[in-house]
Structure 1
Amino acid sequence: MNILVRNLERSITEAELAELFKPFGKVESAAVVMDKDTGKSKGFGFVEMPNGREAIKAIKGLNTLKVKGMGIRVKAAEDKPSA
């Protein structure tokens, strides 16, 4: 399951993002979205967890958690509509 994580503090790394989710189960990947022009974090990212149950537990357990002073928002990522 692909999970969207919003309201990330701009200094959070992909490794730190993955570590947040590891207590809930296997993390396949974690990515912080970067601005192409500045190379800085856009304040959101994605985490891929292969087990749906673990992913749902992670979403419930981490949504609104304060990380580096920011209350993160965690939800299932929606598929982009194909054009």
Structure 2
Amino acid sequence: MKILVRNLERSITEAELLALFEPYGEVTSCALVLDQVTGKSKGFGFVEMADPRQAVQAIKGLNTLKVKGIGIRVKAAEDK
């Protein structure tokens, strides 16, 4: 299940994002969205988890959690 993580502090790394989700289960991919010009984070990213039930638990557990002083927003990603 693919998860959208928004409102991330711009200095957060992919390793830090991964560390937030790993306690909930197997993470199959983790990626921050970067600005093509500057190479810096745009403040959001995607995490994919193998087990949908664990993904739902991660969403419930991490949505509104303060990371580096900012409350993050976590929800299931929508297919476009």
Which TM class, normalised by the smaller chain length? over 0.9
Give the superposition deviation at 1:38. Answer: 1.0
Q: Which TM-score applies when normalising by structure 1?
A: 0.95
Partner of 2:63: 63
Partner of 2:14: 14
Give the superposition deviation at 1:29. Answer: 1.0
Q: Which TM-score applies when normalising by structure 2?
A: 0.98
Q: Unmatched 5+ residue regions in structure 2?
A: none
Instruction: Give 2:20's aligned amino acid.
Output: L
In the TM superposition, structure 1's runs of 4+ consecutive aligned residues that sit over 2 Å from their partners are: none
Query: In the aligned structure 2, how far is the partner of 1:28 from the partner of 1:22?
Result: 10
Q: Unmatched 5+ residue regions in structure 1?
A: none
Q: Deviations over 1:5-28 (max 9, x none)?
A: 000000111111010001110011
Which structure's residues are more often strand, by fraction? 2
RMSD in angstroms over aligned alpha carbons?
0.4
Partner of 2:37: 37
Identity between Structure 1 and Structure 2 (%):
76
Q: How many residues align?
A: 80
Partner of 1:28: 28
Instruction: Give 1:17's aligned amino acid.
Output: L
Greater gyration radius? 1
